[in-house]
């Protein structure tokens, strides 16, 4: 059932076997699976049934460094369903190499194996509504040309891997009916957890203290507490829970909030396809189940091991939308809308786009004039695109994930998503500023390393060399690979690693099952517990690990 903690008659105290903090991908997956396994739980969600802009105020940080991290509320939502309410739907698994002991990646070892996590991918994809566990084009898109383009003789460059896309699934909406009907799951919305309670000395979890925004207290008694609030809020709650232990819970080794990771993104060159357009597979394709899938460029695990590289993927995309010289009315319309209506676009704009904007016009108004000219002259094409977009994106239940525009010349920009290595000095920690309920706000101090960028710089020539083994495409660099790597943007959209799992308390906050080393019954679920970031969007692995945790809690209950 779902209850609103603000309403008269809402419980002010509850006793349960398991308390779950957060109702996003990790929290709701865990609750659904516990329900299936016959275990009771209480889920506490700080937000309400839908989005409330005022609730986002609780996420505001005291300070953020560097600036290109962006406001910490931007990629999070305080509502039932959590950040799945704005999830783009991309599902990519972590690979076996992600779980290997890679000596060149500092503290890069997971305490769990690939097989232990991959065993839950099929069920995780089912929950995400992203189809079967098939991530090679020849399996997931049968009957279609497998590689992005044929003819490469390289074993380093892989072109037949696909990413799968959810509807995208808003977990709060998709599973509301099931949660409402459950007799084992109780969800309290508008219940803001302000502290995790523990026994004297913080040796065992005893429950949680929550408040409504009006200050009414709700106490949950539970021997098992799972923090599934996202990597930023999870660290904040662990550090702020100081009644039983001054350093916070799980923090005896001063590791909570450290190893904060995300992904490096940006343009890293261009590609000129020489094969006929119908032989270049760049578009989204529908699988036999109706799932949108798309190919990407990947470096093989063998190449990663040989060259001591981190994970990355590269997607060909349209040329810079900031440059009106493309003459494309759709791209010009995108630029105008993003610049006028999306305040964070200026922060996310790539260095190439910034340079183009400054080089191509003497003023912002002059640049806009050129884009408006493209829009006016190309209005019939823009209208046709708009109608198709509304049909496939706004009206469809399973939505077209994004804009993919074909270039008549076969010329595209290469966009990278790269792994960040675990860094002890990259962290979030508490400030002296308090939110309206008295919980300290965060300082965000996100730090990348020279190694992060060096690995990208060394990977780019391998990509170029791989394509040079065939005649279907040519990778081109307008500047040195190291220069591209230096310009990568730290978007900060994926929050990872602040309560990482490890084999021992010297290297992490939680063990292989997600339980805090220094506090019995206190667990962490979600990307906060990831040992490494990988290159993949984290949602699928978050769901898989939540399923694994549910089975562990079931086994622990049986004793």
pLDDT tens string 441-479: 999 999 999 999 999 999 999 999 999 999 999 999 999
Instruction: Tell me the CA distances in angstroms from 230 to 18, 26, 121, 376, 530, one per residue in order.
Output: 18, 9, 20, 44, 11
Q: Is the pLDDT reported for residue 356 higher than 60?
A: no
Shared domain for 94 and 8, answered yes or no, is yes
Contact assessment for residue 456 and residue 312, using Cβ atoms and an 8 Å cutoff? yes
Say which range, 84-98, 333-347, 389-403, 523-537, has the weakest mean pLDDT. 333-347
Shared domain for 144 and 221, answered yes or no, is no
Shared domain for 306 and 341, answered yes or no, is no
Kindly report the average pLDDT of the chain as a whole number.
94
Determine the pLDDT at residue 349: 52
Q: Is the pLDDT reported for residue 351 higher than 50?
A: no
Instruction: Quickly list DSSP for 3-71.
Output: EETTSTT--SEEE-SEEEE--SHHHHHHHHHHHHHT--EEEEESSBSS--GGGGGGG--SEEESGGG--
Shared domain for 146 and 215, answered yes or no, is no
Shared domain for 146 and 214, answered yes or no, is no
Domain membership of residue 179 as a residue range: 2-130+168-259+422-446+494-558
At residue 317 the predicted structure's pLDDT band, cuts being 50, 70 and 90, is very high
Say which range, 297-306, 357-366, 422-431, has the weakest mean pLDDT. 357-366
Shared domain for 498 and 358, answered yes or no, is no
Beta-carbon contacts of residue 105 (< 8 Å; ≥ 6 apart):
310, 421, 422, 532
Determine the pLDDT at residue 324: 86
From the number of C-beta atoms within 10 Å of its C-beta (0-12, 13-18, 19+), residue 7 rates as: exposed
End-to-end Cα, the chain, rounded Å: 28
Shared domain for 202 and 78, answered yes or no, is yes
Determine the pLDDT at residue 360: 56
Tell me the average pLDDT across 429-435.
Answer: 97
Shared domain for 391 and 440, answered yes or no, is no
Shared domain for 352 and 482, answered yes or no, is no
Instruction: Tell me the CA distances in angstroms from 338 to 72, 281, 316, one per residue in order.
Output: 20, 27, 20
The number of distinct structural domains making up the chain is 3
Closest CA to 131 of 554, 540, 552, 550: 540
Instruction: Tell me the CA distances in angstroms from 58 to 172, 193, 437, 475, one per residue in order.
Output: 20, 12, 9, 45
At residue 358 the predicted structure's pLDDT band, cuts being 50, 70 and 90, is low
Determine the pLDDT at residue 350: 47
In this structure, the number of other CB atoms found within 10 A of the CB of residue 305 comes to 13
Instruction: Quickly list DSSP for 472-539.
Output: SEEEE-SS-HHHHHHT-EE---S-B-TT-B-SSTTT-SB-TTSBBTTSBTEEE-SGGG-S---SS-SH
Determine the pLDDT at residue 362: 58
- Pairing relationship of beta strands 63-65 and 285-286 according to DSSP bridges: unpaired
Shared domain for 442 and 453, answered yes or no, is no
Shared domain for 148 and 122, answered yes or no, is no
Determine the pLDDT at residue 367: 84
Shared domain for 154 and 269, answered yes or no, is yes
Determine the pLDDT at residue 130: 99
Determine the pLDDT at residue 66: 78
Contact assessment for residue 528 and residue 496, using Cβ atoms and an 8 Å cutoff? yes
State both tokens at 253: 């080794």
Q: What is the DSSP letter of 202?
A: G
**How many percent of the chain have pLDDT more than 90?**
84
Q: Is the pLDDT reported for residue 529 higher than 90?
A: yes
Q: HSE-up of 433 (CA within 13 Å, CB side)? A: 12
Identify each DSSP E strand in 274-359 by its residue range.
285-286, 292-299, 312-317
CATH of the domain at 59: 3.50.50.60
Report the alpha-carbon angle 479-339-478, nearest 5.
Answer: 10
Q: Is the pLDDT reported for residue 42 higher than 70?
A: yes
Q: Is the pLDDT reported for residue 348 higher than 90?
A: no
Tell me the average pLDDT across 202-216.
Answer: 97
- Pairing relationship of beta strands 440-445 and 63-65 according to DSSP bridges: parallel
Q: Is the pLDDT reported for residue 537 higher than 80?
A: yes
pLDDT tens string 481-520: 999 999 987 777 899 999 999 999 999 999 999 999 999 9
427-434 sheet: strands from edge to edge: 63-65, 440-445, 427-434
């Amino acid at each position: 059932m779902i209850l609103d903690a603000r309403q008269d008659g809402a419980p002010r105290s509850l006793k349960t076997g398991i308390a779950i903090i957060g109702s996003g991908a990790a929290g709701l997956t865990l609750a659904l699976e516990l329900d299936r396994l016959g275990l009771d739980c209480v889920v506490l969600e700080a937000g309400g049934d839908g989005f409330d802009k005022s609730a986002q105020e609780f996420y505001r940080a005291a300070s953020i460094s560097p600036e290109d991290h962006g406001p910490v509320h931007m990629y999070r939502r305080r509502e039932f369903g959590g950040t799945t309410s704005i999830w783009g739907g991309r599902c990519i698994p972590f690979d076996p190499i992600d779980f290997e002991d890679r000596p060149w990646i500092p503290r890069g070892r997971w305490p769990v194996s690939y097989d232990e996590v991959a065993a839950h991918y099929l069920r995780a994809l089912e929950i995400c509504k992203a189809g079967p566990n098939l991530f090679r084009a020849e399996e997931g898109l049968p009957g279609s040309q497998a590689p992005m383009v044929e003819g490469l003789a390289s074993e380093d460059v892989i072109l037949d891997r696909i990413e799968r896309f959810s509807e995208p699934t808003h977990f709060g909406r998709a599973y509301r009916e099931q949660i409402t009907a459950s007799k084992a799951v109780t969800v309290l919305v508008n219940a803001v957890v302000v502290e995790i309670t523990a026994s004297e000395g913080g040796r065992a979890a005893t429950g949680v203290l929550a408040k409504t925004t009006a200050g009414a207290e709700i106490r949950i008694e539970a021997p098992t507490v799972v923090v599934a609030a996202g990597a930023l809020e999870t660290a904040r709650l662990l550090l702020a829970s100081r009644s039983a232990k001054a350093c916070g819970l799980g923090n005896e080794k001063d590791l909570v909030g450290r190893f904060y990771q995300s992904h490096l993104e940006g343009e890293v060159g261009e590609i000129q396809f020489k094969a006929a357009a119908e032989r270049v597979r760049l578009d989204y394709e529908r699988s036999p189940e109706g799932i949108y899938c798309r190919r990407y460029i990947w470096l093989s695990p063998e190449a990663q091991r040989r060259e001591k590289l981190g994970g990355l993927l590269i997607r060909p995309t349209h040329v810079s939308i900031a440059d009106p010289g493309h003459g494309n009315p759709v791209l010009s319309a995108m630029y105008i809308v993003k610049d006028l209506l999306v305040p964070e676009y200026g922060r996310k704009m790539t260095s190439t786009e910034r340079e183009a904007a400054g080089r191509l016009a003497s003023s912002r108004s002059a640049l806009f004039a050129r884009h408006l000219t493209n829009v006016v002259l190309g209005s019939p094409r823009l209208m046709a695109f708009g109608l198709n977009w509304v049909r496939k994106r706004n009206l469809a239940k399973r939505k077209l994930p994004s804009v993919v525009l074909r270039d008549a010349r076969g010329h595209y920009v290469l966009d990278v998503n790269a792994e960040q290595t675990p860094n002890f000095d990259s962290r979030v920690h508490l400030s002296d500023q308090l939110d309206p309920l008295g919980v300290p706000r965060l300082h965000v101090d996100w730090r990348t390393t020279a190694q992060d960028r060096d690995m990208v710089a060394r990977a780019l020539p391998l990509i170029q060399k791989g394509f040079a083994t065939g005649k279907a495409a040519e990778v081109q660099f307008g500047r040195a690979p190291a220069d591209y790597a230096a310009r990568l943007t730290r978007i900060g959209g994926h929050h990872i690693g602040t309560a990482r799992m490890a084999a021992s308390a010297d290297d992490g906050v939680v063990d292989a099952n997600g339980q805090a080393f220094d506090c019995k019954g206190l667990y962490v679920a979600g990307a906060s517990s990831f040992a490494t970031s990988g290159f993949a969007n984290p949602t699928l692995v978050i769901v898989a690990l939540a399923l694994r945790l549910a089975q562990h809690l079931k086994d622990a209950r049986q004793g």
